């Protein structure tokens, strides 16, 4: 019998780690961290509970591979900790960008380990499991859904996605392949249903540039844009808008700098060499010609943005005439930190723009009810997460 279960819990949206198990053979999908809330003072982040894997491995079961769906931290960043706990040499696979982000996260925590690239259209064999990856759009490039064939039938592992018809990189979701999988017959679909309460799709990620353009117009001083550091497509749009206004770009914050370097090296981010300013040379550029892309969109204490705003950053400070643009929303649990930061900015008389003022500054990376329905119609699975079925059926009969 094939079993599937999450070791990071089922009710939340982070700590993603799913185990597929058939007799003594196991496959893991994703290995992400979670984020603490105000009831967990002093906690930096949460990791999935790997005890089950440790127990099964001690009993002689085999973990064939860890397969990654995309490069968000809640899907990859627990790798160094879980790998240390389970203490087996297991191969890891992901799309090229996901693999590079995962290797960086591991190296940051003292684990030097290769993550192998998926081959396009390639099917990987792991004991009784066959794994195929399908391109799908989300708020980070190079995201995949996984088709996992087991002796009991086909599982469709639909991790985070939205059906973006005009993605920034022009690479659409491979819905043709999703439909073919549906015709083959799907036993069970496990699908991301964050934001399913929204009936209609959010705007395309490629629409965010227009909102950033609107906010960057007529700023006299420097512009700071803060966003999720993995939002490569949004960084591209911010850079493009900065170029239109004749501003050079500097990057501040470890995660932003790492991700920008990785994406540039892979050709996924296009920044003309003469536009990029070393953060140590920002003083050479007039404020009116500078755009700084800075980490800290969740108002995390100690982040680059918060230190800049509270006057304790070595390289950057803000003053009247500057403008700070939040191209992000507060993730649950971070609201107080975000609004404390926004209040501090406003109380210094510095202009600040955020999604509640200009909704175009952030779009969701997750599928609405309508997009869920499209995926389910293509897949026609025998089983699916109950909440998804309930809402999808309600829509179909409406």
Which residue spans within the chain are E strands per DSSP?
2-6, 18-22, 25-29, 62-67, 92-94, 116-117, 123-126, 129-135, 144-150, 153-158, 188-191, 223-226, 248-252, 290-294, 323-326, 351-353, 383-384
The SS3 of residue 190 is strand
CA gap 273, 295 in Å, rounded: 21
The SS3 of residue 291 is strand
User: Residue 160, interface with Zn ion (CB under 5 A)?
Assistant: yes
The nearer residue to Zn ion, 71 or 381, going by C-beta atoms, is: 71
Query: Shortest gap between Cβ of 370 and Zn ion (angstroms)?
Result: 19
Name which of residues 105 to 134 contact Zn ion (CB under 5 A): none
User: Residue 371, interface with Zn ion (CB under 5 A)?
Assistant: no
Applying CB under 5 A, the site for Zn ion has a residue count of 2
The nearer residue to Zn ion, 76 or 353, going by C-beta atoms, is: 76
Instruction: Give CA angle at 368 (355, 335), nearest 5°.
Output: 35
User: Residue 72, interface with Zn ion (CB under 5 A)?
Assistant: yes
Residue 280 dihedral angles phi and psi, to the nearest 5°: -80, -10
Residue with tokens 């107080």: 336
Nearest to 306 by CA among 318, 296, 316: 296
CA atoms within 13 A on the CB side of 349: 4
User: Residue 164, interface with Zn ion (CB under 5 A)?
Assistant: no
- Residues 74, 192, 287, 337: which is the catalytic one? 192
**By CB under 5 A, which span of 68-76, 203-211, 235-243, 262-270 interacts with Zn ion?**
68-76
The nearer residue to Zn ion, 160 or 322, going by C-beta atoms, is: 160
- The answer to whether 286 touches 217, Cβ cutoff 8 Å, is no
**By CB under 5 A, which span of 18-26, 69-77, 302-310, 374-382 interacts with Zn ion?**
69-77
Query: Shortest gap between Cβ of 70 and Zn ion (angstroms)?
Result: 6
- The answer to whether 187 touches 381, Cβ cutoff 8 Å, is yes
87 is catalytic: no
366 is catalytic: yes
**By CB under 5 A, which span of 48-56, 156-164, 173-181, 387-395 interacts with Zn ion?**
156-164
- Helix, strand and coil content of the chain, in percent to the nearest 5, comes to 35, 20, 45
Query: Shortest gap between Cβ of 120 and Zn ion (angstroms)?
Result: 21
Query: Shortest gap between Cβ of 137 and Zn ion (angstroms)?
Result: 11
The nearer residue to Zn ion, 160 or 351, going by C-beta atoms, is: 160
Query: What is the x/- site pattern for Zn ion, positions 272-311, by CB under 5 A?
Result: ----------------------------------------
User: Residue 351, interface with Zn ion (CB under 5 A)?
Assistant: no
Binding site for Zn ion (CB under 5 A): 72, 160
- Which residues are part of the catalytic machinery? 192, 366
């Amino acid at each position: 019998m094939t079993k599937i279960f999450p070791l990071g819990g089922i009710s939340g949206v982070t700590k993603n780690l799913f185990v597929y198990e058939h007799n003594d053979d196991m496959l893991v999908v994703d290995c992400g961290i979670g984020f603490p809330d105000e009831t967990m003072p002093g906690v930096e982040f949460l990791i999935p509970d790997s005890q089950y894997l440790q127990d099964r491995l001690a009993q002689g079961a085999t973990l064939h591979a860890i397969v990654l769906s995309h490069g968000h931290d809640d899907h990859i960043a627990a790798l160094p900790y879980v790998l240390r706990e389970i203490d087996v040499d297991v191969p890891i696979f992901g799309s090229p960008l996901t693999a590079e982000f995962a290797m960086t996260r591991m190296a940051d925590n003292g684990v030097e380990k290769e993550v192998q690239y998926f081959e396009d259209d390639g099917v990987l064999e792991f004991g009784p499991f066959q794994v195929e990856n399908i391109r799908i759009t989300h708020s980070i490039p190079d995201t995949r859904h996984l088709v996992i064939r087991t002796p009991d039938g086909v599982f469709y592992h639909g991790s985070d996605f939205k059906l973006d018809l005009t993605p920034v990189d022009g690479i659409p979701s491979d819905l043709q392949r999703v439909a073919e999988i549906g015709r083959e017959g799907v036993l069970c679909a496990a699908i991301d249903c964050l934001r399913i309460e929204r009936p209609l799709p959010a705007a395309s990620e490629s629409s965010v540039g227009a909102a950033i353009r609107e906010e960057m117009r007529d700023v006299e001083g420097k512009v700071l844009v803060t966003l999720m550091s993995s939002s490569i497509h949004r960084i591209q749009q911010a850079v493009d808008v900065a170029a239109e206004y004749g501003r050079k770009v500097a990057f501040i914050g470890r995660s932003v700098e790492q991700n920008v370097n990785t994406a540039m090296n892979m050709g996924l981010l296009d920044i003309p060499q003469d536009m990029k300013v070393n953060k140590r040379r920002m003083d050479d550029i007039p404020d009116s010609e500078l755009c700084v892309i800075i980490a800290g969109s969740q108002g995390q204490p100690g982040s680059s943005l918060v230190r800049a705003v509270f006057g304790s950053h070595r390289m950057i400070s803000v003053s009247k005439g500057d403008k700070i643009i939040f191209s992000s929303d507060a993730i649950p649990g971070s609201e107080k930190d975000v609004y404390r930061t926004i209040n501090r900015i406003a109380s210094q008389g510095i202009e600040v723009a955020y999604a509640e003022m200009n909704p175009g500054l952030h779009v969701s990376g997750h599928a609405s009810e309508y997009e869920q329905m499209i995926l389910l119609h293509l897949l026609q699975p025998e089983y699916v997460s109950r909440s998804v079925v309930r809402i999808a059926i309600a829509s179909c009969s409406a």
